[in-house]
Each structure stands twice: as C-alpha cells, then as structure tokens.
Structure 1
C-alpha cells in the first residue's frame, strides 16, 4: 500500500507540474486569439497562435515557474537539490556548450557527407546578425526552462524516490513526449528516438556532474548550431535567417526531413556515442577524485 501511495504521489506531482504550464499557455493563447480577431487580424496569417515568438518565451517562463513552485511547495523539506547551485557552474556550462557544438557539428557533417543535404552560405548582413542574436537568446531560455523542469525537478523527484536509473529513463521519455506536438515529430520513428537519446544524454550529464549546468550548456549549443548555424529545422521549428541554408536531398531518415538533424539516424548514432563517451569520461574523473580523497 505504501508503494502504491508513493507511486501515485510522484506521478501526481509530475502531472500537476506539467498541467499548470499547459493551462496557462492555453489561456494566454485563447486571449491572444480573441484580441487578434477583434483587431481584424487573420489567424491564418499569424500561423495560428503557436507561431508567435512570444508564446515560446511564455512557455519557457511558465515551465521554470512550475518547477520552482512544485519544488518549493512539496520538495524543499526533503533536502534534495534541483542542481542550479553547483560549484564551478560556468566551467561545467562551457564544457557542455563545446560538447554540444562537437556533437551537432559531427552530425551535420556526416549527414552532408552522406548526401542527405547540401549547403549554401548566406550573406552576412544585419538581418542575419539580428537573427543569430535573437536565436541565441531564445535557446538560452529554452535550455534553461527544459533543463530546470525536466532534469532539475522531474529527474530530481524520481531519483529521490526511486534512484538514478529510473530517474534518467522516465525523465527522458517525458522529455520526448513534451515535444510530441512539434511539427513532424512522428514523421518517422527517429525524431522520438533521438529526443529520448538527447534526454538520456542530458540526464546522465546531470547525474555525473552533479548539477544542471553541463546539460544546460549542451542543450543550448545543440539547438543553436543545429538551427542557426547549420540551417536545419530545430525539432520541427523553422529558425529563420541562418548561416548555412540547407537543401534537403533525402531520404528523410538520412536528412532528418522537416524535423531537422534530430530526425536523422545519423544523429541517433552520434548521440549514442556521446552518451558512451560522457559516461566513461566523467566516471573516470569521479573515480580519480574518490581515490585522491
């Protein structure tokens, strides 16, 4: 009976933490649509409500707020930490950032070398520079919100009750389902598989480094370089003006199609190699630190 009660308690907290942001976003979207229609705007021209950039920032804000609220009301007394108060946070964030550049660069070059895409360089102008700046700011917000919510709160909650392995697996699956409404998510099996693998990579990095800053840095550079540098869609979303314009040569399992590099089987291989490399690299460092003590 105690195990069942604990299960429903944990599951209920996870569901509640996700429902609160969704309800707020839905209400804000309805209000926005009503105001737009009353002003004479055409919702088709606005690409419906989801296309508005402000909704992405609102989504980031409410998921962060939900994670902190749930932690403050239910978890602070239990003594576990969400992972933001980490020693050498900047050091870990930079390591993660450069790891994300490496992984996405390898993925993009392999897709290109295999003929899945071709590239054409864009002209450097004010529009491109502004797009890069806006994209970097946006993906800082995305990385912070998704890592604080998924790896900080959900992974921490499950780990406290069930241990590290269930926390990594379940939080990664939840992370993938959080992207289920993204365009072309289920065009092939690879988008869902790769979002799960990315979640595992982020979760293991949170576990091995003891905080959120490594996965935050990795998440930021993975998204930014995928979209604004190498020109792919980012989880099905169009980034706008980019450094390299992509032509999709297919097939979709190779190029990633309209989901982006995360829709390619090559990204699956790179993410798996990244998970293995990260595990052995930090496991070795943790063993060395233990021996020195």
Structure 2
C-alpha cells in the first residue's frame, strides 16, 4: 500500500472513530453550524450530481461513481461534525451500519412493494418490453449516492440542527417541508407530489432517525424505496422523468389519485397511507425511548455537556 493510501485510510478511520476527544475550539451556535453545513453539502450535492451525469446509463460507472459519491459525502459529513461540533459523529457509528442498512433497505423495498401492489390491484400498473439487468445496476449505483447525500443533508444536518433550535417536532416539520420542496425542481414535479413526498417520506424518515438516532437506517430505507421504484419496477421517481430505465419498464394508467400521474407512485394516496404506518410506529418508538425532545431539553443537555 502506498504512503498516500495509508494516510487516507488513517484519516478515514480518524473521522469515523467513536472515541471521545478533548475539544480544541469553541462549538459554534446551532444556527451557524446549520448554515455552514448546508452550504457545504450543497457543494457535495452538486459534485454528486456531476458524477451521475458522467456515469450516464453505464452500469459499471454508475456503481463506481455512486460508491465514490457516498463515501465522499460520509467522510465530509464526519469531518465537518468533528471540526464544527467538536465530537465524533455518533450518528454514523460504523458498528451499526450493517444492521441499519439491511433493515432499512428491506423496509424500503417492502413499503414500496405494498404500495405498488395496491396500485396494481386497482389496475394502475403494468409492464411493457423485456428486462434490463444493466438498467437495474445503473439505478442502484445512482440511488446509492442519492440516498446517502440526501439523508446526510436532510436528517443529519437539517433535522438534527433544527432540532437543537426548535425541538424534535419542529425539526420534523421543517426537514419534511424542505425535503418535499427539493423535489419541485424535477422535470415532472407537481405541488401535490412535493407535498406527498414531504408527508410520506420527509416525516417517515425523520421519525426513523428520531427513534434510532442513527443515519444508517434512514439511508437504507431511502435506498430501498428508490431502488424498488425505478430499479426494479421501472416507474418515475419523484417526477424525475430523465432517470435511466431499471429492470422492468413500468406503465401507470388510471386516475392520478391512484397512480400518482406523471409524478409517479409517490404522489398516490396509497403511498401516503402505506408510509403513514411506519411513521406512527417509529414516532411511538421514539417517545417510548425518550427521544422526542423539546428545545429546552436539548439546551439543558448542551449546557451540561459544555460545563
């Protein structure tokens, strides 16, 4: 192994280490950290989008650059937390990565499977053409990068730092609305679709993070849901009409309330109803674990840890 590679591995291990360390500088207020980290991750998001553009519909490049984007985003996030907050990024504890990702991916696949089954039951889903394994791999690489970058931004940064300012409930609303709003830039976006995303995905993923206090399960759930949508069943993801075709070429037909129309199944009433179930389950779990915080509780905890 070259000297550069050895130093890179050591630096990576340092960033993800969960060992406590002595603060070397003052921790900035939550609002300042929020602004700095959002700007930083806007740059990371742009870089990841550039990688997806370079990969195009090449499955090998998509898998490779998707992995690079995910690792880059995770490393930047962990380094920013250590520098700006003077603490290890415990929400990215690598010992919880395997189980969190497995459970999250399985949950995402299952939730969308149920959603599409309900749409198909009402005659809203069919397929045409053959299958494309290469297309599925292309989507997998693309969605891996998307899931990691978006969850670090919306749950790791926005939810977590807004929670310090407003408490858990405020963080869920703000991160959910902003997450839905992000999807208005997609080519086939609709206001209803963005609102549906805010409710079914923004609130659900916020509830998962609140209950687990780890980013691995939200990342896995996000990946499993998106991959099932486009990578397996071949339907539009969040109004993004320019995405590669996955394993199947799905065709939606019927009332938009059932199928989601041009925005895709995420704008279906079935998606909202299906995702409401885990949202309630994880919120109840978070409450049972004492992880629904008020602003005062978080401020007291921060003061105690600083003293």
Q: TM-score, normalised by structure 2?
A: 0.69
Count of residue correspondences? 254
**Equivalent pair of 1:191/1:262 in contact (CA under 8 Å):** no
Matches within 5 A, 1:199-238: 199-237=202-240, 238=242
- Taking a change above 3 Å as real, the CA distance of residues 146 and 27 of structure 1, as seen in their structure-2 partners, is closer
Distance 2:228 2:115 in 1: 11
Q: Give 1:46's aligned residue.
A: none
State the alpha-carbon separation in 1 of the partners of residues 43 and 96 from structure 2: 36
CA distance in 2 between counterparts of 1:263 and 1:59 reads: 28
Mapped pair 1:84 → 2:87 = no
User: What is the aligned-residue RMSD (CA, Å)?
Assistant: 3.4
CA distance in 1, matches of 2:73, 2:93: 19
Alignment check: 8 A CA contact 1:80 1:156 kept: no
Deviations 1:146-171 (A, max 9, x none): 11121112222222343322222222
Q: What CA distance in whole angstroms lies between the structure 2 residues aligned with 1:68 and 1:84?
A: 8
Deviation at 1:263, TM superposition (A): 1.6
Is the Cα–Cα contact under 8 Å of residues 190 and 265 in structure 1 kept in the other structure?
no
Unpaired runs of 5+ residues, structure 2, are 1-28, 57-61, 291-307
1:34-73 paired onto structure 2 within 5 Å: 53=55, 67-68=77-78, 70-73=80-83
- Report the counterpart of residue 126 of structure 2 in structure 1: 119
Q: Indicate conservation of the 8 Å contact 1:185/1:192, yes or no.
A: no
After superposition, the Cα gap between the structure-2 partners of 1:210 and 1:87, relative to the gap in structure 1 and judged at 3 Å, is farther
Distance 1:282 1:13 in 2: 25
- Aligned match of 2:280: 276
Q: CA deviation at 1:105?
A: 0.7
| Residue 94 of structure 1, CA deviation | 1.2
Cα gap change, 1:12/1:179 in structure 2, threshold over 3 Å: closer, same or farther? Answer: farther
TM-score, normalised on structure 1?
Answer: 0.72
- Measured in 2, the distance between the counterparts of 1:60 and 1:259 equals 26
